[in-house]
Structure 1
Amino acid sequence: MKSFDQLAVIGLREWINLPQLGVIGLRAKIDTGASTSSLHASDIQPFERDGQPWVRFTAHIGTLVQRRHRCEAPLLSVKKIKSSNGQAQSRYVIRTLLTLGAREWPVDFTLTCRKTMRYRLLLGAKALVDGQLLVNPALTYVQDKPTLADPGAQ
């Protein structure tokens, strides 16, 4: 049996932070069948800042108690995505830092309405590869819940 020491093990569900967006303590569903990661967002408005494309949106945090958080991020692209039900739609794509356990790395997210989904964030295969993560589907919440990083530590 081979082992891969450089890979961190995660479960099917994990706690994450998106520190650049100010989103802390969000439950994520790990989906190895999805290439791209997605974040539940509403009120999505593209705009320009210093001649560069940006997007403003409301991130929805929590399932039982719904909290809304207004975010802004540089717009990476607009991508055509085929959802699990086979429908294609154009989605705005942003890149932001993701914290999972002790790891932090940039992840591309499509912004979409996930209000009918249990998890507000879906972490796809590209993010798993970039984060060097190995998924054990028999486990959940393997990594410690990330906390807000000390601003003086960076």
Structure 2
Amino acid sequence: MNKIIIGSREWCSLPDLGIELIKAKVDSGAKTTALHADNLTKFIKNDENWVQFSLHPLKSRPDLIVQCEAKLVEKRIIKSSNGNKEERFVIETKLILGNSSYPIEITLTNRKLMGFHMLLGRQAMSNKVLIDCEFRYLLGKPSL
């Protein structure tokens, strides 16, 4: 099994959502991956539940806003690190991490006050990566 070594922070891409670059905090203590979502609304498309939301993928570029939409997988109760429980929408989308690409589940939530708009959880990393927390951005920026 070939696992890639990642740092405690990594550049990611979520191309199916139109997000070319976003910094993710790597968190093996978090089960699921979380993504910040503004203006989150549910709607029907082709007789299926979908969600749309907006996102500022780069904190250094507050003018850059990406409008996203994705098929809704389910609603799930998530317990945050401070113990609070929150019902969140769950979507599935493709993650590009370095030269690797694979589908992951993401919960949508308000991470506006957090240092990173994306938290990469252990389900998205399981059997794929090893974390070397001494380093950051070992994989560089994804090449689309």
Verify same fold: TM over 0.5.
yes
Runs of 4+ that moved beyond 4 A: none
Supply the distance in 2 between the matched residues of 1:93 and 1:62 (Cα, whole angstroms).
Answer: 22
Of residues 80, 101, 122, the one that matches 2:77 is 80
Tell me the C-alpha RMSD between the 2 structures.
Answer: 1.0
Gaps of at least 5 residues in structure 1 are 149-154
The question of whether the paired residues in 2 share the 8 Å contact of 1:55 and 1:72 is answered with: yes
* 1:136 equivalent in structure 2: 132
* 2:50 equivalent in structure 1: 54
The question of whether the paired residues in 2 share the 8 Å contact of 1:63 and 1:118 is answered with: no
Q: Establish whether residue 29 from structure 1 lines up as the match of residue 25 from structure 2.
A: yes
The question of whether the paired residues in 2 share the 8 Å contact of 1:14 and 1:140 is answered with: yes
Of residues 119, 124, 131, the one that matches 2:121 is 124
Output the TM-score relative to the length of structure 1. Answer: 0.90
**Alpha-carbon shift at residue 61 of structure 1 (Å):** 1.1
Supply the distance in 1 between the matched residues of 2:137 and 2:83 (Cα, whole angstroms).
Answer: 30
Supply the distance in 1 between the matched residues of 2:70 and 2:143 (Cα, whole angstroms).
Answer: 21
Once the two structures are superposed, what CA deviation does each residue of 1:21-76 show, in whole Å capped at 9, x if it has no partner?
11011100000000000001011111111111100111221123222211110000
Gaps of at least 5 residues in structure 2 are none
Report the secondary structure of 2:126's partner residue: helix
The code of the aligned residue for 1:123 comes to: L
The code of the aligned residue for 2:17 comes to: L
Q: Name the % identity.
A: 39
Q: Establish whether residue 99 from structure 1 lines up as the match of residue 96 from structure 2.
A: yes
* 2:66 equivalent in structure 1: 69
The question of whether the paired residues in 2 share the 8 Å contact of 1:54 and 1:72 is answered with: yes
Supply the distance in 2 between the matched residues of 1:43 and 1:91 (Cα, whole angstroms).
Answer: 14
The question of whether the paired residues in 2 share the 8 Å contact of 1:24 and 1:147 is answered with: no
**Alpha-carbon shift at residue 13 of structure 1 (Å):** 0.3
Report the secondary structure of 1:63's partner residue: coil
Supply the distance in 2 between the matched residues of 1:129 and 1:51 (Cα, whole angstroms).
Answer: 33
Report the secondary structure of 1:61's partner residue: coil
Supply the distance in 1 between the matched residues of 2:111 and 2:140 (Cα, whole angstroms).
Answer: 25
Output the TM-score relative to the length of structure 2. Answer: 0.96
